[in-house]
Amino acid sequence: MNTASQIQLSEADTQILLDWAAQVTHSNESYFHKGQRLAKRLGAHYRADGLTEIGFWTPELAGEVIQTNRDIFLEVFTPLEAVDFSAPSQTIKCRRDCVELKQQGEFCWGVVAGMHPGTRKQMGSLYWLRYCDRLQNEISIIRDVLAYSLPYGVFGPAELYDMDSLQRQRTDLAYFEAHSTPLDPDQASWERPILDNANEVLPRVPAPLNILQVHLKTASPEGTLAGLTQVYQRLSEKIAAGEPLTAAEQNYVGYDALQLLPIEPTIEYRLEGDNRHHEFFAIAPNEAIETGEMACGLEVEVTLRKAKTQNWGYDVPILGSAATNPTILSSLRPDELVDFISTLHNFAGGPIQIIYDLVYGHADNQSLELLNNQYLKGPNMYGQDLNHQLPQVRAILLELQRRRINSGADGIRIDGGQDFRFFNPLSGRVEQDDAYLLAMSDVIQDIGDRQRLLFTIFEDGRPWPEEGWENSSTYRDLIELRPESYQWGPLIFAHNTPTIEGFWDYKWNRIIEVMFQGDRWITGCANHDTVRRGNQIDAQAAAINWHLGATLNEVILNAYDNPATTLWVYGFMPGLPMDFINSLMRAPWGFFRNTDELYGVKVAAEEVGFLDWQITPELFAKPWAFRHLKQLGFEDLDFLKRFMRALNEAMIVTDYDLQRTADLCQRCIGNPDGVCEVKPMQEIGESDHQAFLDHLTVPKLKTIAMAFMEDGHETCRVSHYLDRVDSAQTEFNLALREYRRAHPWLRENLQEGDRFNRLSNEEHTIFYGLRTEPLEDESDQTPEQIVMVTHMGGEPTTITLGDWLQLDLSEWRVAIATPGLDIGQTEDALKIFELKDSQGLVLERIFDE
């Protein structure tokens, strides 16, 4: 059915836009500054007058000489009926309109009338560029890299969204008045001066005292931003009413900041060929569309599927990085993120900052299907290197970040700083692009009529991945360039394995660095990287600290939520502590994704250690646990472990060739007398293997891998483990957070006169020390003093702090002790006492009133 087109190009307004772009292009500014101005008008911007500005960077089209045999047009799909944002799947009718944009050099521009903006209550017009090459008989889609809303993922069209109204309606505008300067809200962003010295002239958000790291998909029962918003709304209401918090609720509070694992759109599950039967935005077969006909006002049928993507967040295609991953939006509306941030900023216990984890050091290989080749330099171990050195790419990436942080973030963590490298032809060397990293730190946030710079964390382990990087990295390259920033320190980087016997003794040299120069380091023990690293330890080959527990699961839970370590980090160590919600909740954690058709079996097989360390028979037996694998016949945890170990070995033997792996499985399983290169696979005999394993094929292997990934992801949801939470432990952890808040000077480095020592032998490792509050020379205050002792591993031992530190213990009292340690407050009790593994205490000096 054809209807009259309601969408058309506004010629006069488009010409104004073209004139502006030409003026910028021919100005005397640098290529990079020109790119920055142009980038701010790329994408789709709904204007107050009801028109929509459209801009695409299309260098792949600029070099064509013959332009008469091609069509480039904006293809717009406007829903003709209401979209149910909660429906898993629905089929609706849309009106399809086509508008020819104006090409100017490497850009396509246009001002369009008739497009409908998305709001909290309605779906907006969906759009992309369609390019039809009549000579080559090729039809392709150019997507909006800088889209504000991608409700149907990176392969679906972008949604026009009324971002100005969203920002005006947010409930935390007053919050942004602190640590910011005013700006003229009537001046467009592309008209404002480009500040190369923003760090010198604009205020920056101050650093928090501590951080809680959260993975959105597993941090609440719903696994969405709305779900986590509900958690914090309930907490805020209870705190305001003076109601007590449950043990599990205590794990969410007492933090100045939440750091979210990346929430940008990730890669998606794709097959070679037709994806129409599972993709999130699927147009019904239509000859006019499939032949690239510019048929306007065409009524088409579209199936909309709600994204169910699971990913740890770091597999990004870069396209859409200004938008929010639709799989964590229960409403598919960008408002959901702003509601969450506003809830934190208005929290009854005091504002909670939000920190975004930004991934701009690499792009997944799926970006090859989504970005023009100007964005990419070539392959790396993660996928593709981004071409930060090309001025327009550099400008667009920074603009993506600007739009991302304008949702209301207070800080950023820059992932993989060591990956930002380039070949310098002048020096003939590969060098670090520190200028770009500093530019990321200086991206200006503007919300309402305020502007500011954000608190910045760099994760940078250079010279990683060179051999020996763990010992040679200084972890200081960026904080020396930008002293007000922070950097991940050596104890929280990936290779943190406190489950191993003597780990803290082995790390002593790094520990000394942390104590005396770690004031600008992120500290702590558990995070998404370290816990996953714990899963990878070969328990058969490593010396495990069995004082932490009787099983591998008890060991890893007690290692990453350890009272002695937490006491040391919060009660004595300098720097900025960060905790991980999964460890606090005693919930499993691993790297799981259901987005990989090509490498899914490899990734699943490599996560086999997750079963050894994180999954117990009791957990496996839960009705909700491992449902997909149980349906395939893996009803016994031990059998699942044996099969996954055998599969991992088979993948290595076949060099990760899926067909050869399937052939090996067919040859070995249930054939004890045959020739088999992988003995564990052969040991899966006929008596215990399931029918599903008969004649294992590549599709069957992929089915097992997908089931393993989705089941593993579900086991990481913290709401399953509320009954695991020990109230004594959560109260102790919260008390430590409050103690550090009351003693903010602890974040400073140890000074002259402070002490930090260890007592270490084959039986135990003890840390102890004394700190004095640093005061200005002219201060007449009496400085606070504290003493700490912690048992970091091994057999029980006797503690005599008075002798070790030459203390008059009548002048000291216990400020805080680990759960179960009750030695009393008397001088005699403090003179000599016993500590077991994971126990410790902090003493405070008593001064006369």
The model's confidence at residue 1, banded by pLDDT at 50, 70 and 90, is: very low
pLDDT of residue 362 exceeding 90, the answer is: yes
Region 261-288 average pLDDT: 91
Is the CB of residue 770 less than 8 Å from the CB of residue 805? yes
C-alpha–C-alpha distance, residues 161 and 81, integer Å: 17
pLDDT at 671: 81
Is the CB of residue 361 less than 8 Å from the CB of residue 397? no
**Gyration radius from the chain CA atoms:** 29
Cα separations (Å) of 464 from 107, 363, 438, 467, 776?
Answer: 38, 18, 19, 8, 40
pLDDT of residue 462 exceeding 60, the answer is: yes
C-alpha–C-alpha distance, residues 804 and 768, integer Å: 9
Q: Is the pTM of this model over 0.85?
A: yes
C-alpha–C-alpha distance, residues 181 and 170, integer Å: 19
pLDDT of residue 523 exceeding 90, the answer is: yes
pLDDT of residue 485 exceeding 80, the answer is: yes
Classify 382 as helix, strand or coil: coil
Region 400-415 average pLDDT: 98
pLDDT at 63: 73
Classify 140 as helix, strand or coil: strand
pLDDT at 675: 87
Percent of the chain with pLDDT over 70: 98
- Quick: pLDDT tens for 136-190: 788 899 999 999 999 999 999 999 999 999 999 999 999 999 899 999 888 888 8
Q: What is the mean pLDDT of the chain?
A: 94
pLDDT at 686: 58
Is the CB of residue 677 less than 8 Å from the CB of residue 664? yes
- Helix intervals (H) in 247-286: 247-250
pLDDT at 689: 52
pLDDT of residue 2 exceeding 70, the answer is: no
| Token pair listed for 46 | 């709904």
C-alpha–C-alpha distance, residues 437 and 460, integer Å: 10
Go through the chain and tell me how many residues it has: 849
C-alpha–C-alpha distance, residues 684 and 671, integer Å: 9
Higher per-residue pLDDT: 453 or 291: 453
Angle at 397 between CA 38 and CA 185, to 5 degrees: 55
Classify 101 as helix, strand or coil: coil
- Quick: pLDDT tens for 576-625: 999 999 999 999 999 999 998 888 999 999 999 999 999 999 999 999 99
- Quick: pLDDT tens for 547-580: 999 999 999 999 999 999 999 999 999 999 999 9
The model's confidence at residue 114, banded by pLDDT at 50, 70 and 90, is: very high
pLDDT of residue 4 exceeding 70, the answer is: no
Is the CB of residue 764 less than 8 Å from the CB of residue 730? no
Of 320, 295, 350, which is closest to residue 98 (Cα–Cα)?
295
Of 68, 156, 56, which is closest to residue 107 (Cα–Cα)?
56
Residues 6+ apart with CB under 8 A from 100: 9, 71, 72, 73, 74, 294
CATH architecture of 748-845: Sandwich (2.60)
pLDDT of residue 494 exceeding 80, the answer is: no
pLDDT at 67: 62
C-alpha–C-alpha distance, residues 315 and 667, integer Å: 35
**Phi, psi (rounded to 5 degrees) for 677:** -75, -15
pLDDT of residue 713 exceeding 90, the answer is: yes
C-alpha–C-alpha distance, residues 83 and 442, integer Å: 39
pLDDT at 164: 96
pLDDT of residue 5 exceeding 60, the answer is: no
Neighbours of 20 (CB within 10 A): 16
Domain ranges of the chain: 600-715, 748-845
- Quick: pLDDT tens for 414-461: 999 999 999 999 999 999 999 999 999 999 999 999 999 999 999 999
- Quick: pLDDT tens for 653-691: 999 999 999 999 999 988 878 889 999 998 886 555 567
Residues 6+ apart with CB under 8 A from 81: 92, 93
C-alpha–C-alpha distance, residues 233 and 346, integer Å: 10
pLDDT of residue 712 exceeding 50, the answer is: yes
Region 97-117 average pLDDT: 97
pLDDT at 441: 98
